[in-house]
A and B are shown apart, each in its own frame.
Chain A
Amino acid sequence: MENVNDLRDQLTKTITRPIEKIVKFFITASAFAAILISISIIFTLLTEAINFFQDPAVTFKGYFTATRWTPTFQNPEYGVIVLISSTLYIAVIACLISFPLGLFSAIYLSEFATKRTRKVIKPVLEVLAGVPTVVFGYFALNWITPNIIQRFIPGTGVFNALSAGIAVGIMIIPTVASISDDALNAVPNSLRNGSLALGATRRITSLKIMFPAALSGIIASFILGFSRAIGETMIVTIAGGQYPELNLDPRSAMYTITSSIVNVSLGDTPHGTTAYNALFALGITLFIMTFILNIGSDYIARKYRKEYE
């Protein structure tokens, strides 16, 4: 029998192990840094946006009802609806391009492609995701607009919503494709086999069994793609133009939230002026929009997630 007191001595805390504590501190700090940064961003946006709304020339009503966004004009108007509608308009064009193409490539990759073709296509898609958005912007302005849009739709301006929307759409294809592909791959192979064993073809199996089973992930990829389209800046600034009035003609220039932020911050708008503070009001508007979308995507992914096992 071992002596109980000896054993107790051996098991008693003697070493403090400082390295454990230091490492734990840094890991915890990193995790909380993200939260801290988010809070300070929101705080900055909010305080400056409040300054914006305190200007007597600005009203909440005007912000949401005026049909011009002209903060640097003699008689400034702050109709954010112009920017929101342009932003959504271009985002919808982008989605019309990226949802079908992204989803179909995901279905192709996960259901039809051989290992070898998959090995080629996956990296190419990832290259597409790595192209800097400024490149897409000039691609839209200097190639899509003259070679496609102006050729088929005469009378289109150099800066136009259509070209910007298409380029943004191409930019998001990899996002949609890759998340949808992950969602399809997460569906157990046993479902695919079960369907094929019943005499279903590959087409029916992918559309009727695999697609619905992966729906939550696919919807999440759509929402994330939409959210990226809304936040996209460079392409719309370069190719979308800056038309400051309410307008729904895809052939003409538009003015998105992001590109107006770029313009205000690049221009000579003096610090502290209402035009300058408008930038933060736009920032918080955009933030709220993408925030709602991200929450929505998270909610849908959770709600419609099918539990296997």
Chain B
Amino acid sequence: METKETVQVNSESVFNVTDLSVSYGDFVAIKNVNMDITKNKITAFIGPSGCGKSTLIRSFNRMNDLILGAKVNGTITYQGVDLYDKMVDPVQVRRRIGMVFQKPNPFPKTIKENITFGLKVNNMTDNMDDRVEKALTQAALWDEVKDDLDKNALELSGGQQQRLCIARTIAVEPDTILMDEPCSALDPVATKKIEDLMQELVKEFSILIVTHNMQQASRSSDYCAFFTTKTSDDGKRRTGELVEFNETSVMFTTPDKELTEQYISGRFG
């Protein structure tokens, strides 16, 4: 406990979120979010379906820009820079803040090309073979695919595909990885591999992960944010809100809020 405490005091934050709300047209998906995300730690977002946690994570690399009518209010600063400043180029943002999606989405190309695509896009064309090997090794996939680099990525198993997606994300050397329920389409064995991998990756990257899986959050995250939906007075609108943001060890033993405790112990959600 004590070591954790000191870590928190000394650590820098990679993101500062202030009064953030995200809406799609008239529908407010999530509002009033204030949180600081610590560098080189795993921060998990948990909460029931529809609480806006996926929406929230997509605003950290401006993926919400791609959804028609999506609007972000409030500020997210990334290492001190306002991500939603008019002058900020979302393409540059995404080069530094990578993302792994809920369902593995390898490109219908070879395993190697899946990695080199991002490298080419980011002008990292020197020593490509080394970079491919390094990324696949970091993603704990190299030994399984080193002889099949020219095989179509769609022939890999679901878990391998997801690790390939992680490999292609880290190949372009971002400093933060966003993971939107990366294990929800995987079996327990593949899930375990990804979780172990996260523990390795967090030495180099800051990781934000959305998860439905309470055990996963408690096992693998350092910090945990619990969100829930609040229904408006007329009962028509449901909006996500941040209930509690805490160290994972604290949240899963002595949560501050009654609601958190109920959710974690499975009494609601």
Pairing of A with B: yes
- State the A residues within 8 Å of B (CB): 114-115, 188, 190-191, 193-201, 204, 208-209, 212-213, 306-308
B121 touches A200 (CB 8 A): yes
Whole-angstrom distance between the Cβ of B39 and the nearest chain A Cβ? 20
In the assembled complex, B134 has its CB within 8 A of some CB on chain A: no
- A194 contact set on B, CB distance < 8 A: 101, 105-107, 165
A199 touches B107 (CB 8 A): no
Interface string of B92-107 (1 = CB under 8 A from A): 1011001101010111
A307 touches B105 (CB 8 A): no
Interface size on B, residues (CB 8 A): 26
In B88-138, the 8 Å CB interface with A consists of: 91-92, 94-95, 98-99, 101, 103, 105-109, 117-118, 121-122
B105 touches A199 (CB 8 A): no
In the assembled complex, B154 has its CB within 8 A of some CB on chain A: yes
- A196 contact set on B, CB distance < 8 A: 63, 66, 94
B91 touches A201 (CB 8 A): yes
In the assembled complex, the Cα of A197 lies from the Cα of B95 at a distance in Å of 7
Q: Given A190-B103, A199-B95, A306-B154, A213 and B165 touching (CB < 8 A)? A: no
Task: Return 23 A-B CB contacts under 8 Å, by A number.
Answer: A114-B68, A115-B68, A190-B103, A191-B105, A193-B101, A194-B165, A196-B94, A197-B101, A198-B95, A198-B122, A198-B168, A199-B91, A199-B95, A199-B118, A200-B117, A201-B91, A201-B121, A212-B108, A213-B107, A306-B108, A306-B154, A307-B154, A308-B154
Contacts A197-B98, A209-B117, A306-B108 supplied; 19 other A-B pairs, CB < 8 Å: A114-B68, A115-B68, A190-B103, A193-B99, A193-B105, A194-B106, A197-B94, A197-B101, A198-B117, A199-B94, A199-B118, A200-B91, A200-B117, A200-B118, A212-B108, A213-B107, A213-B108, A307-B154, A308-B154
A195 touches B66 (CB 8 A): no
A198 touches B118 (CB 8 A): yes
B117 touches A197 (CB 8 A): no
Whole-angstrom distance between the Cβ of B37 and the nearest chain A Cβ? 18
Q: Given A199-B118, A204-B121, A191 and B107 touching (CB < 8 A)? A: yes
In the assembled complex, B172 has its CB within 8 A of some CB on chain A: yes
9 A-B pairs with the lowest CB-CB distances in the bound complex, closest first = A199-B95, A190-B105, A198-B118, A197-B99, A194-B105, A306-B108, A200-B121, A199-B94, A213-B108
Which of B61, B95, B107 is in CB contact (< 8 Å) with A195?
B107
B98 touches A208 (CB 8 A): no
Most buried by A among B61, B108, B109: B108
- A199 contact set on B, CB distance < 8 A: 91-92, 94-95, 118, 121-122, 172
> In the complex, what residue of chain A is closest to B104 when comparing beta carbons?
A190
- B172 contact set on A, CB distance < 8 A: 198-199
In the assembled complex, B211 has its CB within 8 A of some CB on chain A: no
In the assembled complex, the Cα of A196 lies from the Cα of B61 at a distance in Å of 10
Q: Given A199-B94, A199-B95, A201-B91, A193 and B66 touching (CB < 8 A)? A: yes
In the assembled complex, the Cα of A306 lies from the Cα of B118 at a distance in Å of 21
Q: Given A114-B68, A191-B107, A213-B108, A197 and B121 touching (CB < 8 A)? A: no
Interface string of B158-171 (1 = CB under 8 A from A): 00000001001100
Q: Given A200-B121, A204-B121, A190 and B98 touching (CB < 8 A)? A: no
In B42-66, the 8 Å CB interface with A consists of: 61, 63, 66
In the assembled complex, the Cα of A201 lies from the Cα of B91 at a distance in Å of 6
- B165 contact set on A, CB distance < 8 A: 194
In the assembled complex, the Cα of A308 lies from the Cα of B168 at a distance in Å of 19
In the assembled complex, the Cα of A209 lies from the Cα of B120 at a distance in Å of 13
Which of B63, B106, B122, B154 is in CB contact (< 8 Å) with A193?
B63
In B63-86, the 8 Å CB interface with A consists of: 63, 66, 68
A197 touches B61 (CB 8 A): yes
Whole-angstrom distance between the Cβ of B80 and the nearest chain A Cβ? 20
In the assembled complex, the Cα of A198 lies from the Cα of B124 at a distance in Å of 12
B101 touches A198 (CB 8 A): no
> In the complex, what residue of chain A is closest to B99 when comparing beta carbons?
A197
In the assembled complex, the Cα of A190 lies from the Cα of B172 at a distance in Å of 19
Whole-angstrom distance between the Cβ of B220 and the nearest chain A Cβ? 22
> In the complex, what residue of chain A is closest to B114 when comparing beta carbons?
A194
> In the complex, what residue of chain A is closest to B97 when comparing beta carbons?
A197
> In the complex, what residue of chain A is closest to B121 when comparing beta carbons?
A200
- A198 contact set on B, CB distance < 8 A: 94-95, 98, 117-118, 121-122, 168-169, 172
In the assembled complex, the Cα of A188 lies from the Cα of B103 at a distance in Å of 11
Whole-angstrom distance between the Cβ of B177 and the nearest chain A Cβ? 10
In the assembled complex, the Cα of A307 lies from the Cα of B106 at a distance in Å of 12
- A201 contact set on B, CB distance < 8 A: 91, 121
In the assembled complex, the Cα of A200 lies from the Cα of B118 at a distance in Å of 7
- B122 contact set on A, CB distance < 8 A: 198-199
- A212 contact set on B, CB distance < 8 A: 108-109
> In the complex, what residue of chain A is closest to B174 when comparing beta carbons?
A199
In the assembled complex, the Cα of A194 lies from the Cα of B103 at a distance in Å of 10
Whole-angstrom distance between the Cβ of A120 and the nearest chain B Cβ? 16
- B121 contact set on A, CB distance < 8 A: 198-201, 204
Whole-angstrom distance between the Cβ of A141 and the nearest chain B Cβ? 44
Which of A188, A197, A208 is in CB contact (< 8 Å) with B63?
A197
In the assembled complex, the Cα of A307 lies from the Cα of B153 at a distance in Å of 12
Whole-angstrom distance between the Cβ of A94 and the nearest chain B Cβ? 31
